[in-house]
Amino acid sequence: WMAEWLYDARKACKVGAPICLFIDWRQYPSITDALQWAGWIWRGTAVWDKGNSRPQKGRFRQQAEYIVWGSNGPMPINRPVSCLPGVFRYGNPQNRIHVTEKPLQLMKDVIQICEPGGRILDPFAGAGTTILAAVEEGYETVGIEVTDAYYKLGSDRVKFALEAKEKEESEK
């Protein structure tokens, strides 16, 4: 199913558009295969270091997620995008409303791979973190969420955050 939605997402993106997929070690091989099968160019992997995790004696901590990234065809070198780090260090957000919710600042950093003023597609919007980060950073955005409860939670989160920011700016 991953290859199918990745194929459909690629058709919705312009040539050269980047893609970033958060994944843990268990799904890493299948997501890189699906990405390429769907026609994306796999360009590499960055790491989200969460800083801590539940320790297991005699084992490595599973404190990281991987950001598999690629592009929809050629990605021009002269894009107006700066060099991004290969490791992002942010703890899990407190008071999460979604099990896979990412820190807002992490998503603000990751979306910098996109050209300024571009459009960002999040086909699994969940808590709305990517949508909120994109809007706050000046991007257009399209979010898709099939679970009604998360759609409402994510939509409300984005709405309330933007209203609060607008109110704060009007009081200056």
Domain boundary among 35, 61, 89: 89
* Mean pLDDT over each residue of the chain, to the nearest integer: 93
Model pLDDT for residues 141-150, shown as the tens digit of each residue = 999 999 999 9
pLDDT of residue 55: 84
| DSSP H or E stretch at residue 11 | helix 2-12
Number of domains, the chain:
2
Instruction: Supply the CATH number for residue 50's domain.
Output: 3.40.50.150
Q: What's the pLDDT band for 32 if we cut at 50, 70, 90?
A: very high
- For residue 160, pLDDT over 80 is answered with yes
Domain boundary among 89, 106, 134: 89
Same structural domain, 2 and 65: yes
Calculate the CA dihedral of residues 37, 38, 42, 47 and round it to 10 degrees.
-110
